Amino acid sequence: MDDNFSRLEESRVQGTFSFPCTMYRADSSLPGAAPVFLVKPHWHNAFELLYFEKGVYFFNINMTQYRVNSEAFCFVESENLHSLHCKNPYREQALLFEPGILSSVSMDESTRSLIDPLLRKSLRFPDIVTPQDGCFQELKKEFLRLLRIFTDSGEVHEDQLFLHDPSSQLRVKASILTILACVYEDGLLHNEEQKEDPRVESMKNLMRYVQTHYAGKIYLSELAEIMHMNEQYFCRFFNKTTGRTPMAYINDIRIRKAALLLSDPQNKMTVLDTAAACGFTNTGHFITEFRKRTGMAPKAYRLSKLQGTL
């Protein structure tokens, strides 16, 4: 996830190619933090463990929305569509890892009964673990251990923390396995098959469409048709599922694209041209939307990025 925005289908490696595991952090108390923490709907092949330490979050996973208003952990399995939204104040950390790092050449009972079924998705993590669950404190202890490893030994690259030394990588694997063990011991792993909701794939198709066509006019009727819904029901459904209106989601994509352009020192387009290239026909509206999502006007954002202060 980025400081304000996250990709739809994340194709970048989480961590490094040799050790695909990384940590992200979002904290409203840090300099330059956005007034709203928004991770738009997306999915990836990695497993994700989120720690909501502070704030009130609206967390969506596939077609289910959770309101998390206290300390909690959330598990996201690979290819699950998810998003989240939180206003200031917030403090959140997320561990992402390719599940293959837990594989072992030996087929012991833990591999046969736990790790392989999790990789095959015949055994599933709980969506949420709260302080009312018996394993919460141990899970928290191990997660904070992970955070310390990444903070003390990791290399910062953009919004990710990487690990290169083998001892730190082994400690991370050990903590992830300990988390798996304590969740299993608390009886929170379940072997119910996830019911496939056709709307999830339709939502992914819709988001691919917006990613491809954001620079032009996008009509609600086109999006509703992708979801096989009428416009009125589609708007209600999209808002309930993502916590955003369709137009707010489209503008999120457009502002992210504009932010990437404004951050590029090779890009010589004016703010007006940047707005037009990202689908905004009204410059004043673009500036308002940009400031709302980044806390800065486009010119100030470009200057801060080029000076390296963001």
Let me know if 90 is exposed, middle or buried by CB neighbors in 10 A (0-12, 13-18, 19+): buried
pLDDT of residue 193: 63
Cis amide leading into 41 (omega within 30): no
Least confident among 111-115, 149-153, 176-180, 220-224: 111-115
Average pLDDT, the chain: 87
- Tell me the mean pLDDT in the region 248-274: 92
| 53 has a pLDDT exceeding 90 | yes
Confidence of residue 6 (pLDDT cuts 50, 70, 90): very low
Q: What is the pLDDT of residues 79-99, one digit of tens each?
A: 888 988 888 899 999 999 988
Q: What percent of the chain has pLDDT over 90?
A: 49
Q: What is the pLDDT of residues 110-138, one digit of tens each?
A: 888 888 888 888 888 999 999 999 999 99
Q: Which superfamily does CATH assign the domain made up of 21-185 to?
A: Regulatory protein AraC (2.60.120.280)
| 49 has a pLDDT exceeding 60 | yes
Give ranges for CATH 1.10.10.60 in the chain: 198-307
Least confident among 145-154, 236-245, 298-307: 236-245
| 150 has a pLDDT exceeding 90 | yes
| Phi, psi angles (nearest 5°) of residue 145 | -65, -45
295-299 own/partner pairs: CB under 8 Å, 24+ apart: 295/32, 295/34, 295/35, 298/258, 298/262, 298/271, 298/274, 299/271
Q: Of 124, 116, 119, 93, give the one whose Cα is nearest residue 22.
A: 93
Give ranges for CATH 2.60.120.280 in the chain: 21-185
Cα 145 from chain centroid (whole Å): 21
Question: What's the CATH architecture for 198-307?
Answer: Orthogonal Bundle (1.10)
| 68 has a pLDDT exceeding 80 | yes
pLDDT of residue 195: 65
For 234, half-sphere exposure in the C-beta direction (CA atoms, 13 angstrom radius) is 18
| 9 has a pLDDT exceeding 60 | no
Q: What is the pLDDT of residues 194-215, one digit of tens each?
A: 566 788 888 888 988 998 999 9
| 7 has a pLDDT exceeding 50 | no
Confidence of residue 42 (pLDDT cuts 50, 70, 90): confident
| 278 has a pLDDT exceeding 70 | yes
Confidence of residue 254 (pLDDT cuts 50, 70, 90): very high
| 50 has a pLDDT exceeding 90 | yes
